[in-house]
Structure formats: C-alpha cells, structure tokens
Amino acid sequence: MCLILVSGTLMSFGQVTPVVKPVPPTIPVVPVLLSTQKIGIAGLAHDHVHNILGDYRDGKVLIVGIAEADKQLRARYQKQYNLPDSIFFDDLKKMVTAKKPDVVLGYNPVAKHIDIVEVCAPLGISVMVEKPLAATLAQAIRMEFLALKYYIKLMTNYETTWYPSYQHVYNLAAKDSLGQIRKMVVHDGHQGPKEIGCSKDFTNWLTDPELNGAGALNDFGCYGANLMTWLMNGQKPIAITAVARHFKLQTYPKVEDDATIIVEYPTATGIIEASWNWPFSIKDLEVFGDEGYMHALDKDNVTTRIDKKPMTTIIAPPLLAPNDHPISYLQQVVNDRQRGIADRSSLKYNMIVMQILDAAKRSIAENKRIVL
C-alpha cells in the first residue's frame, strides 16, 4: 500500500491514521528565592507590609519571625496570608532572641524605627525600614550612632528606588548627557491616605505628628529629598525654604496635608511638592540641565529632550537583579560591606534627607529660609 506523509499525518488510500504526539508532563513552577536571608518583621501597622507578606506566601522569602503587640492586627494578617503561629511574637527582643534573623524589616510607625535599631544593633542585626528613616532628626542621629557603633547596615526603603524610569534618568544625567543639572522638580502625592483606602492601623499613626513626624511633608516630602540627594551625588543643600498648607482640617486635624519645599544647592535648585490633596496619585521626577531635559512620568515612561533634538518618550529598560527588588538588594548590601554606602537606600544619603526635612519643618515654624 502506498503511504504518504502530509503535515504530520500518515495517509493511505482509503485510510487516515493521525500521529498521536505524547503530552509532556506538567512541571510545577518552583518559586525563586529573592534572598536566602532569615528575615524578621518588626510591626504590621504599615500597609507596605503586604509586599513582603505576599512574597512569603509565594515562597520567595524566608520570614522566621514577626513581632507585633496588637493581637487583632496579628490575627488579621495571619488569616490573610496563612501564617503559622510559631512565627508570631508580641515583643521584638523576644523574636530576635528566639529566631535569630539575619535582618529585620521595619513596618511600624516611623517614630518607632529607632526602637528597632536599639534592639537589633547591639546584636549585630542589620535593619531596613520603610521611608523615611525617622520621625525627627534627633532620632536619626541616635540611629546613625548605633549603626556605626555596632557596624550594622541601616537602610531605608523607598518605592521609587525600584522605578526603572528614575534609574534611566540618573544614568543619563551621570553621563553628563543633560549637562550640569540646574533644576529638579519632584511630585509625590495622592488624594489622601484615608481617601485612597489605607487601613485604619496605618492612618492612625500616619496622621499623627508625633508618630509620623509630620503629615504629607514627611510622608511624601522624603521622596524628593532622597532623589535630589542621589542626583546631586550626596551633596548637602545650602538652604531650605518650605510652606505647609492645611486644606483638610476635618479629615486631618493634626497635620498638614500639603507641603512645598525649595532646596538650594550652589549650582542647582530643587522643588519638592508633596500632597494628600491631589485629584489623583502622582509620582514623577523632572530634571533640567544646561543641555537637556528629562521627565520620568511614572514608573516606566520617560520623556527626553537633549541638545534641541525632538522630544522622545520611551519605556525605560528594566532594572537588573539583584538591584530590582528591596529584598535581593538588601542581601547584597549585607553580604558586601562596600555596597549600599552611597545610594538612595544608604544611611549616608538618608541622614541628608532627614536634615532637609528637619530644616523644612523649621522653615515652616519660623516662616523663614533656613541656612544649613
């Protein structure tokens, strides 16, 4: 019988026999660890904690202990992320003593960041807190002293550190593609923490002048101060002038909901606009140089105009591991003492951020320009 092979099918006159291909076995997807470090969590009152708990649920990180005194808060997160009883403690000292984490991440009120360092530094445990570093400059100075005394890494995590668009702007500015930087404008804000649905546990301290150190000025002003310090390669400003507004007295009676900070450098000016009073969320960065302009419109998109050429808009190239995630970054920094010394997360740069925020508060209180 004459056989013909056509498109994978054996054909004979009067008969068709399909070729059955074997189905490959399903291979389960094994999560890739972002870090092999044993992680401890201090506090659950910051809504950003969902990020690390989501990574734990997905098998990407190793959380060995969580310290949180609020039993209701613990129960809520335990149920949501299916967390075992064995990792919960009501006290940070008990947790680090029992579980011996390699690092501790802080998700408690900003004014309580210092408490984490007081416990962890003498034990040689490095710490990363959510921005800003501290509620006050005095707290930050004490934290810096402890970190240096006990030789730990003390890092500050900003959402915008992991924006590809911001890294792209920095890279071109560092290559002098824009010429000398003359002006930086940073917008960070949204409708307000209550308006966008932040948890009550979060807003209770975020809108408290003692626990947060201020309102929108600390919450969002720190982003601009951090980015400008980075773009200016750690240069300290020469003067700060700030204005705070209180538009939502009924919603936020204790703290300002809008702040504008002018940051003066010898050769450049920075403008920080921070608000809980905008019609929608904005996080962007503008940099003006002698020869060009760049605008990171959001996390990914960047508009550029250099040397009178037509304006272009691109999607920034993705960040490369391990510098694309705070947890993988932290492991790299802790393992290599030469890393994380002068960047957006570093203690050095965030001490300058705290000086800028402190001067802004003094400028508002005294209604004058503060010379540093």
Q: List pLDDT tens digits, range 204-220.
A: 999 999 999 999 999 99
The pLDDT confidence band at residue 263, using thresholds 50, 70 and 90, is very high
What average pLDDT does this structure show over 144-164? Answer: 98
Give 58's contacts (C-beta < 8 A, 6+ positions apart).
31
**Cβ-based neighbours of 96, under 8 Å, separated by 6 or more:** 40, 65, 67, 104, 119, 120, 123, 125
CB-based contact 35:9 (threshold 8 Å): no
Residue 31: its pLDDT value, please?
Answer: 73
Dump pLDDT digits (tens) for 101-111: 999 999 999 99
Tens of pLDDT along 224-249? 999 999 999 999 999 999 999 999 99
pLDDT at 355: 98
Strands 103-106 and 181-189: unpaired
Q: What is the pLDDT of residue 32?
A: 83
pLDDT band at 9 (very low <50, low <70, confident <90, very high): very low
DSSP 66-82: EE-S-HHHHHHHHHHHT
Whether residue 16 is predicted with pLDDT greater than 80 in this model: the reply is no
Give the pLDDT score at 287: 98
pLDDT at 332: 96
When pLDDT is averaged across residues 189-201 and rounded to a whole number, the result is: 98
For residues 351 and 132, what is the distance between their CA atoms, to the nearest angstrom? Answer: 10
pLDDT band at residue 14 using 50, 70 and 90 as cut-offs = very low
Residue 337: predicted pLDDT: 84
For the chain, first and last CA: distance in Å? 96
Contact 38, 14 (CB under 8 A): no
**Helix/strand/coil for 240:** strand
Query: What span, in angstroms and rounded, lies between the C-alpha atoms of 169 and 177?
Result: 10
